[in-house]
Amino acid sequence: MLLATSVLSALVVGFIGYQSGRSSLRDAAFNRLDEVLSAQTRQLEAEFRYLRESLVIYTRGSTAIEAARAFTAGFDQLADATITPAQEKAIVDYYQTEYAEITSEATGQEVDVRGMLPTSNAQKYLQAHYMAPYPDWNDAIKVDDARDGSPWSAANARFNDFFRQIVHRFKFEDALLLDTRGNVVYSAYKAADLGTNILSGPYSGGDLTDAYRKALETNVVDYVGVTDFSNYQPSAAPTAWMISPIGANGRIDGVLALQFPTAGVNRIMTMEGKWEEAGMGETGETFLVGPDGLMRSNSRLFEEDPEEFETRAVEAGTPPDVARQSLQAGTNILMQPVSDEATRRALKGQTGTIIEEDYLAHEALQAYAPVDLPGLDWVIIANIDTEEAFAPVSSFTRNLVLSTAAMIFLVSIAAMLLARLFIRPIRRLEAGAQQISSGDYGVTVPVHSKDEFGDLTVAFNDMSRNLAIKEDLLNEQRQENNRLLLSLMPEQVVARYREGEETIAQDHQNVTVIYAGISGMDELAADLSAGEGLELVNRLVRQFDAAAESLGVEKVRTLHNGYLASCGVSVPRLDNVRRTVDFAIEMQRIIDRFNSETGNRLKLRAGIDTGTVTSGLIGRSSLAYDMWGSTVDLANSVQSGSPQPGVYVTSRVYDAMNDTRQFAPVDAVDVSGRTEPVWRLSEHRA
């Protein structure tokens, strides 16, 4: 029940969070796109206002007025100028090579330049001196004076830098000065339209002509005419114009026409290539569309990968020749059609956001709005692929599903733990009982409640504590018993005794036995109390035991005034004879040290033999570990049969040690009807 309630709660909370979060993230995506659209619109409108106001300032200034008058006068004086055949040929060659090549690359078609050749003397003169010698327009704009001595060149030397600065600072494509008769009396870049007449010449009849007429006919002092992008043959790219009359005090001396830069529009719309920094991600973009449904700025994909743009545009329905022409011209302006729903609504003056297929047939989140540019019916579109725009929604949904699943899992675990919580006291007592049954009497079950389970736990802990105390006492007793057994017999005999063997005896080969007696002990003890005498004996025995342990000699038993030990019983040793003799010498030193410290006169008499012995337990109710055999008897006889103190050895010990120790022969002893030679260990080594 607890689990079902918790899971249901998690699902309800997750569903509500999903609906709320999804809606918020989708709104945030739309709002972000609206913000980008608004920012781009404001920037574009501000740029246009700045250019328009700057143009008004220039055309009302004295410099522009004087320039218009000077270039017009100079142009009129070239009506009768002489044109040499060489100059005529240079002009024709320029049109047939440079001009034709540039125009063909821009349009993708062959151009017949015969109709474009200059006809008037003034036009021929200017193009012969300022255009034909400079195929690169960037070189032509730098020429202030052709050194021909004409009044037009004088005017150019005076005013060319003024217009050149306007073009460079505001990044216009060109600047034209037109007189009141339609003649192009000045061109900053000295292109093919220099000296032509836009009312009757080869480039008449276009948007520039219409805008020029309106500028002359207007009575507004601050009039600025703006044309939409259109094809203008002297330029290699679609061209838009900003036109304003030049003059003051009601007199018009000419018209200044600035060729609006496509690069400036693209710079704003493409965010200078910094789409991601502007918040448009990997697929977002903004672009302009004109009333004819053609782009007025470049596509992002066109800027990043023109070939990929061509492929996708053709797949989306763009005619292949149109897509190919965009690549040849290097621009989408007036070439790429846009006919999606967002553009249609924006052209109707509407503003909003929708999700539709864009001009590349990708589902996209689109924001649209008209642009407030006087004289231009452009709209602005901002779009981003829905997959990228709603990526936070997908991520949020995935995280929410995972977190809800994790929550349900954790709730399930918590429910299982809580269900087990009710029987946890019993489980703890059960586990404690199992530990006690396995011999762990130190277990303590924690008390977490004051109910019946708590009382039961307290009683259980008391029982466990009492059992632990009794177990500790038993362990101490076992350890004491073990220590006593090990002090009475070797560890191997103790192990056999614990296993239940009743008759424990074992023969040992190659064992050396020392039987030592201390004379003078009884006389010394007679003058002492029982406790003092016992303390004296224990003092010597403890030193004997320490020496035996350090030399690998095993004590068999201790007498009041004697000591029986062996070497090679529990641990077989090849040098058991040497160790036993060294032990006897160490016992003599202990006696000598004791005498010098206490002033007593104890004496050591020890007998050593080597051979076969038998060891084992003797008795039943009162056990004793002992060693017996002829080797033990001989060692006892050797020490007891010599009246003088010292270390006495048998012939077998003598044979083993005479190379390293000095021995002196003494009286033999009789053992079991046979005579045994005896040697006494000298005080000094060999």
Q: Which helix (H) or strand (E) holds 306?
A: helix 306-315
How does DSSP assign 67-93, residue by residue? HHHHHHHHHHHTTT----HHHHHHHHH
CB atoms within 10 A of CB 9: 13
Q: Look at residue 540 and give its three-state secondary structure.
A: helix
Identify residue 231 by its one-letter amino acid code: N
Distances (CA, A) of 315 to 312, 320, 338, 355, 643: 5, 9, 14, 20, 131
Identify residue 164 by its one-letter amino acid code: R
Check the CA dihedral 526-530-535-538 and report its sign.
Answer: positive
Phi, psi of 339 (to 5 degrees): -130, 35
Dihedral of the CA atoms 399, 405, 409, 410 (nearest 10)?
40
Q: Which helix (H) or strand (E) holds 667?
A: strand 661-671
Distance CA 613, CA 401 (A): 87
Helix 151-170 × helix 2-60 angle, to 10°: 170
Closest CA to 584 of 679, 486, 489: 679
Let me know: does 246 contact 222? Beta carbons within 8 Å.
no
What pLDDT, on the 0 to 100 scale, is given for residue 185? 94
Cβ-proximal residues to 407 (8 Å cutoff; 6+ apart), any chain: 10, 14
Residue 314 region by backbone torsions, left for phi larger than 0, else alpha for psi between -120 and 50, else beta: alpha
- pTM reported for the whole predicted model: 0.57
Dihedral of the CA atoms 274, 278, 282, 288 (nearest 10)?
-80
Beta strands 646-650 and 603-618: pairing type? parallel
Distance CA 512, CA 62 (A): 139
What pLDDT, on the 0 to 100 scale, is given for residue 504? 77
Distance CA 85, CA 39 (A): 57
What pLDDT, on the 0 to 100 scale, is given for residue 222? 80
Distance CA 90, CA 133 (A): 8
Closest CA to 669 of 629, 642, 647: 642
Distance CA 120, CA 124 (A): 6
Cβ-proximal residues to 676 (8 Å cutoff; 6+ apart), any chain: 634, 637, 638, 650, 651, 668, 669, 670
- Could you tell me which CATH number the domain at 501-685 has? 3.30.70.1230
Cβ-proximal residues to 235 (8 Å cutoff; 6+ apart), any chain: 173, 174, 191, 259
What pLDDT, on the 0 to 100 scale, is given for residue 22? 62
Q: Which two tokens stand for residue 326?
A: 């965009």
CATH architecture of 61-260: 2-Layer Sandwich (3.30)
DSSP structure class, residue 673: T
Cβ-proximal residues to 112 (8 Å cutoff; 6+ apart), any chain: none
Ranges in the chain, pLDDT < 70: 1-2, 6, 10, 13-14, 17-25, 105-109, 221, 236, 261, 393-394, 396, 422, 441, 481, 483-492, 500, 502-503, 560, 619-623, 683-686
How does DSSP assign 602-653, residue by residue? -EEEEEEEEEEEEEEEE-SSS-EEEEESHHHHHHHHHHHS-SS-EEEEEHHH
Distance CA 481, CA 501 (A): 17
pLDDT above 90 covers a percentage of the chain that reads 28
Let me know: does 289 contact 343? Beta carbons within 8 Å.
yes
Residues of the chain with CATH 3.30.70.1230: 501-685
Per residue in 532-588, pLDDT (tens digit) is 777 888 888 889 899 999 999 998 888 767 889 999 888 888 999 999 999 999 999
Per residue in 652-673, pLDDT (tens digit) is 999 999 888 999 998 888 877 7
Q: Report how far Cα 248 is from the mean position of its chain's Cα atoms.
A: 70
Closest CA to 269 of 43, 575, 582: 43
Distance CA 480, CA 381 (A): 99
pLDDT above 70 covers a percentage of the chain that reads 91
Let me know: does 170 contact 92? Beta carbons within 8 Å.
no
What pLDDT, on the 0 to 100 scale, is given for residue 686? 37
Beta strands 603-618 and 505-519: pairing type? antiparallel
Distance CA 641, CA 5 (A): 101
Residues of the chain with CATH 1.10.8: 426-488
Burial class (CB in 10 A: 0-12, 13-18, 19+), 467: middle
Ordered strands of the 379-385 beta sheet: 285-289, 379-385, 363-370, 352-357
What pLDDT, on the 0 to 100 scale, is given for residue 621? 61
Distance CA 522, CA 562 (A): 11
Helix 85-94 × helix 121-130 angle, to 10°: 70
Count Cα atoms within 13 angstroms, Cβ side, for 113. Answer: 18
Let me know: does 239 contact 257? Beta carbons within 8 Å.
no
Q: Report how far Cα 564 is from the mean position of its chain's Cα atoms.
A: 78
Question: For the domain with range 426-488, which CATH number is right: 1.20.120, 3.30.70, 1.10.8, 1.10.3470?
Answer: 1.10.8
CB atoms within 10 A of CB 137: 19
Cβ-proximal residues to 319 (8 Å cutoff; 6+ apart), any chain: none
What pLDDT, on the 0 to 100 scale, is given for residue 106? 63
Distance CA 304, CA 566 (A): 102
Q: Look at residue 665 and give its three-state secondary structure.
A: strand
Q: Look at residue 239 and give its three-state secondary structure.
A: strand
Beta strands 554-558 and 562-567: pairing type? antiparallel
Instruction: Tell the residue number behind the tokens 């836009």, with chain if given.
Output: 198
Q: Which helix (H) or strand (E) holds 300?
A: helix 300-304
Distance CA 515, CA 686 (A): 24
Q: Which two tokens stand for residue 89?
A: 């040929």
Q: Which two tokens stand for residue 499?
A: 């296993």
Let me know: does 163 contact 172? Beta carbons within 8 Å.
no
Ordered strands of the 225-226 beta sheet: 184-187, 174-178, 251-260, 240-248, 225-226
Residues of the chain with CATH 3.30.450.20: 61-260
Q: Look at residue 569 and give its three-state secondary structure.
A: coil
Let me know: does 405 contact 7? Beta carbons within 8 Å.
no
CB atoms within 10 A of CB 395: 11
Per residue in 343-396, pLDDT (tens digit) is 999 999 999 999 898 888 888 899 999 999 888 899 999 998 888 877 776 676
